[in-house]
Amino acid sequence: MDGVSLTTQNYARWLHKKTGNVCVVTPKCPGYRDESTYPVYRYTSIPIPMRKPYRIGLPRMDLPFYTMINQQSFELVHAHCPFSSGALAMQIARSQNIPIIATFHSKYRTDFEQAIPNKYLVDHLLKNVISFYEQADEVWIPQASVEETLREYGYKGKIEIVDNGNDFADSTPVEPVRKEARQKLGLQNNEFAFLFVGQHIWEKNIDFLIHSLSMIRELPFNMYFIGTGYAEKEMKLLVQKSGLSSKVTFVGCLTNREELKNYYAAADLFLFPSLYDNAPLVVREAAAMHTPSLLVEGSTAAQIIEDTQNGFLSANSPEAFAGKIRGLVSSPFLLHSAGLGASQSIARSWEDVVGEVVDRYTRLIERTSKIPATAYGKLYEAV
C-alpha cells in the first residue's frame, strides 16, 4: 500500500478503462489475491530483511512465468522500479524494440544506506540505478523538486514531469464525511485530530514527529499513525516514554481505501516531517479531504506547499514543528482555509492524470515506431 504501488494500481485501473489493454507485472506477495479487471502477472519473490512487507522479485528463476512473459507482445513498457521488474521491463523493451518509460519515485540512496553500512557498495548500487534510468527512452518524475535528487545521484539526461493523482479527488461533499468520521472516532468538537499515514520507518523522521508531539502534550489532541514498518515497536516505546500513550493511536495498515478516506476527513492537520519522500501521495490524499499538511521547509516533498495558502511549513527542528502546531491549534479558520486551498491546488484526480499519460504514451509510441499508435496495443506497467 505504498505510494509506488498505489500509483501503479491507479495507472492500470484508468489505462484499462481508457484503452482496455494493459497489464501489470510485479512480484508475488503471499496471501494476496488479485481481483483487478486487468491482468496481473506475478513472479517468485523473497522477503527483504528488515523491510517488511517489501519483497524482491526473482523473475528469471520463475521459469513458467519467464517463458510466458517473453511470449507476450507489448507496444510500450513503463517501469516504476529500477530493480527486478525494471530490469525485466528493460529486457522486454530491447528484445521487442519498443519504448520504455521509467519513473523515478524514491530516494534510493537513503534506502541503501539504511541497510548497507559500506559506502562504496552503496555508491556502486546507486550507479547501477542511474545506469538503468539512462537507458530509458523517457524518465518521469512526479514533481519538479525531485529533479534535484536525480541530478545529485548523477543522472544527466532529459526529465519529464508528470503529476501523481488522487483517488479521493471527486465531487463528494467533504463535511458530511468529516462529521460522521469524527463521531466514529469519538472526537469531541474541541479536540484536534492529527494524522500520519506511511511506512513506520525512521527515514520518514518519525522520531522527530513524536518528539514534537511530546512538547504539546497539554493540548487537546489525538494523534493517529496509520501504516506499518520495521520501526513500529520502537515507535510505540518512544510514545510511551514521551508520555503520549493516552493521545496516540497506532491504527496499523489499512487496505480499505474508504476507511482510510474517513481518517483523512476526520483529521484537522496531516503531520509529515519526512525529508526522505519525493512526492508523497499521502499529502495529496489529505488535501482531497480538505485536510492541510504540515511539512518541513526545504524538503523535497514540501515544494508543492505555499505556507498558509494550501498547507504549512516549519523549520527543521522538533521545537519549531511543535510551535507551528501550537499556533495552528489556536487558528482553526486558518486550518480550514488552507485545507480548502490544498483541495483546489494539489488534489488532481487519477482519471485526469492518466488522460495525460495516455497522450504521452501515444506520442512516444508514434515517435519510436513507423506504425501509428491508434489501436492502443498492450501496455505493461512494471512495479
For residues 210-227, average pLDDT: 97
| CATH number of 174-345, picked from 3.40.50.2000, 3.40.50.880, 3.90.1150.10, 3.40.50.300 | 3.40.50.2000
In angstroms, the CA 12 to CA 34 distance is 13
* Residue 13 pLDDT > 90: yes
Least confident of 46-50, 292-296, 351-355: 46-50
**pLDDT in the model for residue 371:** 53
* Residue 299 pLDDT > 90: yes
pLDDT in tens, 238-247: 999 999 999 9
> Sheet holding 293-296: strands in order across?
248-252, 221-226, 192-197, 269-271, 293-296, 312-314
For residues 132-137, average pLDDT: 98
Cell of 135: 537507458
**pLDDT in the model for residue 273:** 98
**pLDDT in the model for residue 354:** 96
**pLDDT in the model for residue 2:** 81
Residue 64 vs residues 59, 150, 324, 358: alpha-carbon distances, Å: 10, 36, 56, 31
Q: What percent of the chain has pLDDT over 90?
A: 85
- Tell me the pLDDT of the chain averaged across its residues: 93
Q: Which of 290, 378, 277, 269 is nearest to 342 (CA)?
A: 290
pLDDT classification of 55: cutoffs 50, 70, 90: confident
Stated pTM of the model: 0.87
Close Cβ partners of 314 (under 8 Å, ≥ 6 residues apart): 273, 294, 295, 296, 297, 320, 321, 323, 324
pLDDT classification of 381: cutoffs 50, 70, 90: confident
**pLDDT in the model for residue 383:** 65
pLDDT in tens, 149-180: 999 999 999 999 999 999 898 767 999 999 99
**pLDDT in the model for residue 32:** 87
* Residue 77 pLDDT > 70: yes
Q: Do domains 3-165+349-382 and 174-345 have the same CATH topology?
A: yes
Which fold, 3-165+349-382? Rossmann fold (3.40.50)
Q: What percent of the chain has pLDDT over 70?
A: 97
- Indicate the domain borders of the chain: 3-165+349-382, 174-345
